[in-house]
Structure 1
Amino acid sequence: MLIALIIFGVVIVTAIVTVWLTMMFLFPKEFRPVKLSEREKITLEQKISRLDTTGISDRVGRENKKTKPEKPVKPEKYSEEGAAREIRFTEREINGLIANNTDLASRLAIELSDDLASAKLLIPMEPDFPIVGGKTLKITAGLELKYVNGKPVIALRGVSLMGVPMPNAWLGNLKNVDLVKEFGSEAGFWKFFSEGIEYIRVKDGKITVRLRE
């Protein structure tokens, strides 16, 4: 009788732990957005200012509010002299920019590792949706990014739904396929895209992209 009670207790505890882990894994809660330090905000703002010369964008970290320029925009002569062709962002800077978007702040996060950009997206389901109504689904994906033999390499590593990797057939058989090599020989987006990239690298939580003239 004692052994039966022990076994019964173990089964109950195991069931509770399994359900708890399943709920945490399949239906995660919103995660905390990245909050940049003041020094990181200044650095990111300087990078953005090199790309945005209108002078009317909000400071990084402020709430998204529509602002009006103090003065009308003045016409100016187009020039590429001194223009920055290299773009560099850290993982924290990217997530800081995402956090500034109130709709995605606690639902989307990007991770940068060697030659890989990974994304995690949480999607809240409508309450009346079958089975998973009112829950939050987790989608993760990985994209290989690197530069080899004078050309960018962009390949989908995979997509997972609720921790379950999707079959390659469901992804159009594009898993681990170099999209530039596969479609870059034909006139179209990937050909034009690759010809405009001089260098791309993802390493140590940073991404660097250099554009051609």
Structure 2
Amino acid sequence: MMPPVIVFGRQQRGFTGMQVMLLLLAAVVLTAVVSFVVIRTYIFPKPLTPVKLNANETRVLDDKLQQLGWQVTPRTPPKNAESAELTPEPYREDPSKRQVTFSEKEVNAMIGRSPDFAKRVAIDFSNSLASAKVLVPIPADFPVMAGEILRVNAGLDIHLDAQRRPVVALVGVSLMGVPIPNAWLGNMKNVNLVSEFGDGGFWTTFADGVEDIQIRDGELYIKLRP
């Protein structure tokens, strides 16, 4: 018979029953917290908070919209408004009026003026990228998650090409945080919508009237052609 082999070293110890129970409890709590965050953020998100401007910010935004040709209904009509509108004056063009910059807050405030989009759409501006967060209600007769709210995120690349023509291209779309494959989007990712759908339609008219457009960090800059 071979003599017994004695191995010297640190004694191996396993987890005790109490440690195993604590680890299982921690795993259950962590899973519940993560599930709650995912459900509240992506599957059942809360309505977005509409952006509101103060009186001075509202006046500045209305001036910018009128500069681009939008008719803005004044909240409080000024005194003698009728006589002021009928005062004869010669026509003149101010080149500086063709340049308008909208802040991210102003754009979201414009969206907030619409009851249909006030709590469902939010816009973010970063360099050459406009991002949108949209809460889409699911129809009541839909077979899955009927009547619930679905969170969708999308990004648009907006800049000028080498010929100084506006480029508006879809960067991507995410559904509940999951990026949608390009094939499911009709292979429209990174396609210039201006050139793709620009045969005399909206995009052509838009491009013809814009001399410069830039998405900067927190703002949208537009310069119109003469």
Interval of TM-score (by shorter of Structure 1 and Structure 2): 0.7 to 0.9
How does the TM-score come out when normalised to structure 2? 0.74
2:63 paired with 1:46: yes
The runs of 5 or more residues in structure 1 that have no matched partner are 61-69
Of the three residues 153, 166, 170, the one matched with 2:184 is 170
Distance 1:80 1:211 in 2: 18
Structure 2 unaligned spans of 5+: 1-16
Distance change >3 Å, CA 86–CA 59, structure 1 → 2: farther
Q: CA deviation at 1:130?
A: 3.1
Aligned to 2:157: 144
- Aligned amino acid, residue 11 of structure 1: A
Q: Cα 1:178–1:129, aligned 2, differ >3 Å: closer, same or farther?
A: closer
Residue 10 in structure 1 maps to residue 26 in structure 2: yes
Confirm or deny that 1:161 pairs with 2:167: no
Query: Which residue matches 2:73?
Result: 57
CA contact (8 A) 1:45 1:59 kept: no
> What is the identity, as a one-letter code, of the residue corresponding to 1:203?
R
* Residues matched between the structures, number: 199
Per-residue displacement from partner, 1:101-138 (whole Å, max 9, x unpaired)?
Answer: 22211111111111111111112334554332342111
Q: 1:198 aligns with which of 195, 201, 211?
A: 211
Amino acid across the alignment from 1:43: V
Larger radius of gyration: 2
Q: Report the more deviating stretch, 136-145 or 38-47.
A: 38-47
Matched residues in 1 for 2:202 and 2:147: separation?
A: 38
Residues 34 and 11 (structure 1), Cα distance of their counterparts in 2 relative to 1, 3 Å cut: same
**2:118: which partner in 1?**
105
Displacement of 1:189 in angstroms is 4.9
Please state how far the C-alpha of 1:156 moved relative to its aligned partner.
0.7
More moved, 159-168 vs 169-178: 169-178
Spell out, residue by residue over 1:69-98, the C-alpha distance to the aligned partner (whole angstroms, 9 max, x if none). Answer: x97xx99xxx97427433331111111111
Shift of 1:163: 0.9
Separation (CA, whole Å) in 2 of partners of 1:189 and 1:134: 34
Aligned AA for 2:171?
R
Which residue of structure 2 aligns with residue 63 of structure 1? none
Question: For 1:185-208, what per-residue CA distance to the aligned partner results, in whole angstroms no more than 9, with x for missing partners?
Answer: x66554444333211111121112
CA distance in 2, matches of 1:96, 1:194: 25
Residue from 93, 110, 113 that aligns with 1:82: 93
Q: 2-side partners of 1:161 and 1:37: how far apart?
A: 34
Evaluate the alpha carbon distance shift between residue 12 and residue 53 of structure 1 in structure 2; reply closer, same or farther with a 3 A threshold.
Answer: closer
Q: Given the alignment of the two structures, is residue 32 of structure 1 paired with residue 49 of structure 2, yes or no?
A: yes
Give the percent of matched residue pairs that are identical in Structure 1 and Structure 2.
40
Letter of the 1:47 counterpart = K
